Structure 1
Amino acid sequence: MDFSVAGVHVNPIILILWSLFVGYVFSTVGAAGGILAGVGHITIFGLKNANIVKPMNQVLTLISPVISSPLYFKERRLVVPAAIALGLGGIVGAILGSYLSHTFLPDMKSYKPLFGVITLFIAIKIWLEMRPAAKAKQGSVKKANKAFENKVKELKAEGRMNELKDIGVKFSEVGISNTFSFAGETFKYNALSPFIAGLIVAIISAALGVGGGFLLVPYLSSMLGFPMFIVAGTSVLSILVSSATSIANYLRMGSSLDFAMLGFEVIGVVIGSYLGPVLSKYIKGEYLKIFLAVILTYIGVGYLLAGFGIKII
């Protein structure tokens, strides 16, 4: 099928299947959805205009939070105040990042190497965090993850999965200083930290045309010390705000969206985004980080090498 705005010919079934994968990954780990969408648009589907690829990617990362956030919220696996702080910073960052990218990264030659460098940097950081020495510093996180995994097994065996929310996120202090519990462990953070992080992440993600989860997940899990079971939900909710802002600014500056192509992609993303939160309860938090690191390493190396004329993806 021909898609005139995107300038490509693609089988709609391929669009749906790839987007299903994008939605599943993004809603499961709270990251890499925009990167995978970019890989699909650039490498698999063959789009050539970078300033069309960027907002097209972000439309798909916008759909997933709409579907998955209510599910995470229902199960209390979402730190709402942190997501709001990230989103507020993201509004300013998204406007600035999309402007800079539209002006200074208008073609694939300049766009892909930067995409690769930043993605690979984050992948290396995640791998380093999984070293024994780094994991030893995350005692409360590991306890919370283990307690949540054990509770899921117990409730599933007894047919009481509706009680899962009872061990979810519960706040005892909200404001500049925030304190909450999850699976019997207590966590604290300062609201200024996610606001600044949201600003910086949105600048980078809007410039690359991605959701920003590939930066937010390491920040939430490593710097704030949140368990992986609540990182995904917190990440996707904050991305909803920054992605919407970035898309609107790209369109204001003259970028276009291929709505026919997006129609098929949205179908896949909706299905994948629904399956992600449902299935992720049965996957260990450590496995989620490994999966994310593998994806980012492959994509980062591939696009970095592309800048030197070497193609592996």
Structure 2
Amino acid sequence: MELGLIAAIVGWGVLVGIVFSAIGAAGGILSSFGLITLFGVMEPNSVKPMTQIVVLATALTFVPGYVRRGAVVPSLGVLLGLGGIVGAWAGSTVSALYLSDMATFRPLFGLLTLAIAAQIGWKLYRHWQGARRGEGGAMQPFIGAVTDKVLQLGCMCFRYGDARYRVPVISPLIAGAVIAFTAAIFGVGGGFLMVPYMATILGMPMHIIPATSAIPIFMSLLVSVGNYLNLGAPLDWPILAPLVAGAVLGAVLGPHINRRLANHWLQAAMAVIVTGIGAKYVFF
């Protein structure tokens, strides 16, 4: 492999790592886009586990930084992960058997990313419209650690700043299963669904989402990747190794960006990224 190509793969991996560790999503989407469009991996059952390995390595790199500053809700992450274990096994099995053709995989992948971008864009639009009318305050800046974390029978609670969150236990279990099933089908991490669930349905700020979402993503990816390999999915190591190396480097930088950027800019960045990728696969 030429040195220039290796450098390009590492560079793309850095971008993947920065985006995923700063936002908590879109790392798998970017990784899949790079593997398919930039580096010519045209076997869907190779792209899917390779992408998930990149996401897994990235998550393992950036989570400790968030944990040190207390920007994580471990019990919520574990609940999502428990649901995700079943969903990941089912989704990877269905995908390996019935979604192994690139001509089918690409447009479906594109439609999924466009739907997620539309959802995020609509939320931002409603927020900005409300702000113009004087309804509600600005989106929350980074304010420190999550506190008062309590897991009880039926619900779990935590506090971030002045806001108190109460999440019924059944909600993350079901959400984790559905998200992991969908993510495993398309061979991504699931952050593109996990983040909207946490930000929109649970109302959590973006600054505590990346590490929390990484916990269930890690749990479900171990199951999904193992199942893909067990079903015979091949890995292109000359591409995968430098991509993982770059992603790990990017994951060191991403948490610093998360801490310094306002909540709405993080969400807007994710919407722009997934819109571009979705449009590419659906229309071009």
Structure-2-length-normalised TM-score: 0.93
Counterparts of 1:261-272 in structure 2, within 5 Å, are: 261-272=239-250
Q: CA deviation at 1:91?
A: 0.6
Give aligned pairs, total.
280
* Equivalent position amino acid for 1:84 in 2: V
1:228 aligns to what?
206
Q: CA deviation at 1:238?
A: 1.6
Counterparts of 1:6-155 in structure 2, within 5 Å, are: 11-132=5-126, 136=130, 145-146=140-141, 148=142
Work out the CA distance in 2 between the residues paired with 1:298 and 1:262.
Answer: 23
Cα deviations across residues 8-32 of structure 1 (Å, max 9, x unaligned)? x971000100000000000100000
The share of aligned pairs that are identical, in percent, is 38
Structure-1-length-normalised TM-score: 0.85
Q: CA deviation at 1:110?
A: 1.0
1:173 aligns to what?
150
Matched, 1:294 2:276: no
Alignment CA distance shift 1:142-1:107 (3 Å): farther
* 1:29–1:232 Cα contact (<8 Å) kept: yes
2:175 aligns to what?
197
Q: For 2:140, what is the secondary structure of its paired residue? A: helix
* 2:57–2:244 Cα contact (<8 Å) kept: yes
Larger Rg: 1
Q: For 1:187, what is the secondary structure of its paired residue? A: strand
* 1:27–1:236 Cα contact (<8 Å) kept: no
Q: CA deviation at 1:301?
A: 1.6
Alignment CA distance shift 1:267-1:58 (3 Å): same
Cα deviations across residues 254-289 of structure 1 (Å, max 9, x unaligned)? 001122322211210111001001222111111000
* Equivalent position amino acid for 2:172 in 1: P
Alignment CA distance shift 1:206-1:119 (3 Å): same
Q: CA deviation at 1:133?
A: 5.5
Q: CA deviation at 1:237?
A: 2.1
Alignment CA distance shift 1:172-1:217 (3 Å): closer
2:190 aligns to what?
212
Which runs of 5 or more residues in structure 2 are unaligned?
A: none
* 1:64–1:236 Cα contact (<8 Å) kept: no
Q: CA deviation at 1:233?
A: 1.6
Work out the CA distance in 2 between the residues paired with 1:134 and 1:89.
Answer: 34
Work out the CA distance in 1 between the residues paired with 2:164 and 2:34.
Answer: 40
* Equivalent position amino acid for 2:126 in 1: P
Which runs of 5 or more residues in structure 1 are unaligned?
A: 3-8, 152-166, 306-310
* Equivalent position amino acid for 1:232 in 2: P
Matched, 1:244 2:222: yes
> Which region of structure 1 is more displaced relative to structure 2, 35-44 or 233-242?
233-242
* Equivalent position amino acid for 1:114 in 2: L
1:274 aligns to what?
252
Q: CA deviation at 1:215?
A: 0.5
Work out the CA distance in 2 between the residues paired with 1:210 and 1:142.
Answer: 34
Q: CA deviation at 1:206?
A: 0.3
